[in-house]
């Protein structure tokens, strides 16, 4: 894993946007795997700026989001559908029919997850997967545990994640208990991975992510097995890494 440590969140966002735009410029058709969360907000803002300055064009880009809450309407301000429109899609020229997020009605999860994987494969696989990391080391919504699931699936969120994500909801009871997420195999199949981490709350997770040990208890540690994975972390997130 290549590790880039930057001083500030702005630098992290600029570096991430630079890596994304260079992938976007590399081919006539490009498939991006995209994350949500507070970490990539600055990256999206910078990408929107670069688009406005005509430094990048997204017409030939197809996107697949990593995850989405289960049972939350796509218009809910905390849904990842809403987040992506608000932070990115409403401001750039990715054609609507090339935008994909996991989504399903009640009782349709298995079918929707299968179809999501087929759609990713049909698009030629993901060229660049951008990821954030949870405080407990999760990627997407692949939670720490005895086992991890490979493919896109419906997951019960851990108490840690419900608690961490409650900051976006008015009450803890409103936080969805389940989500659809790409699995670790879906993520690892991406040709290139860009992992972003900012702030001291991520320091422990990042330490375990780069430690050399691989464990399902820290899903992000699996990324050490990927051939082309870059971690961009700010100083606080990298504070406990020996390489820092």
Q: Which residues are identified as catalytic?
A: 67, 136, 138, 143
> Of 48 and 206, which CB lies nearer to ligand GLP in the complex structure?
206
Is residue 203 classed exposed, middle or buried when 0-12, 13-18 and 19+ CB atoms within 10 A define those classes?
A: buried
> Under the criterion CB under 6 A, does residue 9 sit at the interface with ligand GLP?
no
Where do we find the tokens 């375990």? 208
Interface pick for ligand GLP out of 33, 102, 140, 183 (rule CB under 6 A): 140
Where do we find the tokens 């997204």? 58
> Of 57 and 240, which CB lies nearer to ligand GLP in the complex structure?
240
* DSSP 8-state secondary structure symbol assigned to residue 218: B
> Of 25 and 47, which CB lies nearer to ligand GLP in the complex structure?
47
Q: Edge-to-edge, what's the strand order for the sheet holding 178-181?
A: 67-69, 178-181, 153-156
> Which of 20-28, 30-38, 83-91, 227-235 is the region at the interface with ligand GLP (rule: CB under 6 A)?
30-38
Interface pick for ligand GLP out of 21, 79, 165, 218 (rule CB under 6 A): 165
Q: Give the C-alpha separation, 146 to 54, whole Å.
A: 47
Interface pick for ligand GLP out of 8, 22, 26, 38 (rule CB under 6 A): 38
> In 59-127, at which residue ranges do the beta strands (DSSP E only) sit?
61-65, 67-69, 99-100
Interface pick for ligand GLP out of 39, 152, 186, 218 (rule CB under 6 A): 39
> Under the criterion CB under 6 A, does residue 183 sit at the interface with ligand GLP?
no
> Under the criterion CB under 6 A, does residue 133 sit at the interface with ligand GLP?
yes
- Side-chain half-sphere of 1: how many Cα atoms within 13 Å? 30
> Of 116 and 141, which CB lies nearer to ligand GLP in the complex structure?
141
> In 55-204, at which residue ranges do the beta strands (DSSP E only) sit?
61-65, 67-69, 99-100, 128-131, 153-156, 178-181, 192-197
Q: Give the C-alpha separation, 168 to 38, whole Å.
A: 10
> Under the criterion CB under 6 A, does residue 88 sit at the interface with ligand GLP?
no
> Under the criterion CB under 6 A, does residue 134 sit at the interface with ligand GLP?
yes
| Other C-beta atoms lying within 10 Å of the C-beta of residue 22 | 11
> Which of 22-30, 31-39, 146-154, 219-227 is the region at the interface with ligand GLP (rule: CB under 6 A)?
31-39
> Of 60 and 85, which CB lies nearer to ligand GLP in the complex structure?
85
Q: Give the C-alpha separation, 219 to 112, whole Å.
A: 23
List residues binding ligand GLP (CB under 6 A): 35-39, 66-67, 132-134, 140-141, 161, 165
């Amino acid at each position: 894993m290549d590790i880039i440590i930057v001083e500030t969140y702005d630098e992290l966002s600029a570096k991430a946007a630079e890596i994304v735009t260079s992938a976007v410029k590399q081919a006539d058709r490009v498939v991006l795997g995209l994350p949500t969360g507070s970490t990539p907000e600055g990256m999206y803002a910078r990408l929107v700026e670069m688009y406005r300055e005509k430094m990048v064009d997204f017409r030939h880009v197809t996107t697949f989001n990593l995850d989405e809450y289960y049972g939350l309407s796509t218009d809910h301000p905390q849904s990842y559908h809403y987040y992506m429109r608000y932070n990115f899609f409403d401001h750039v020229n990715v054609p609507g029919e090339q935008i994909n997020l996991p989504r399903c009605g009640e009782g349709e999860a298995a079918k929707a997850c299968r179809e999501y994987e087929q759609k990713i494969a049909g698009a030629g696989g993901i060229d660049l997967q951008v990821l954030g990391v949870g405080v407990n080391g999760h990627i997407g919504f692949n939670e720490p545990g005895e086992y991890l699931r490979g493919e896109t699936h419906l997951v019960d969120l851990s108490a840690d994640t419900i608690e961490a994500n409650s900051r976006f909801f008015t009450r803890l009871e409103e936080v969805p208990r389940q989500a659809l997420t790409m699995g670790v195999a879906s993520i690892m199949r991406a040709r290139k991975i860009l992992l972003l981490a900012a702030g001291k709350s991520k320091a422990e997770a990042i330490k375990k992510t780069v430690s050399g040990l691989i464990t399902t208890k820290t899903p992000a540690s699996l990324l050490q097995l990927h051939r082309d994975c870059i971690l961009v972390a700010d100083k606080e997130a990298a504070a406990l890494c020996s390489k820092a």
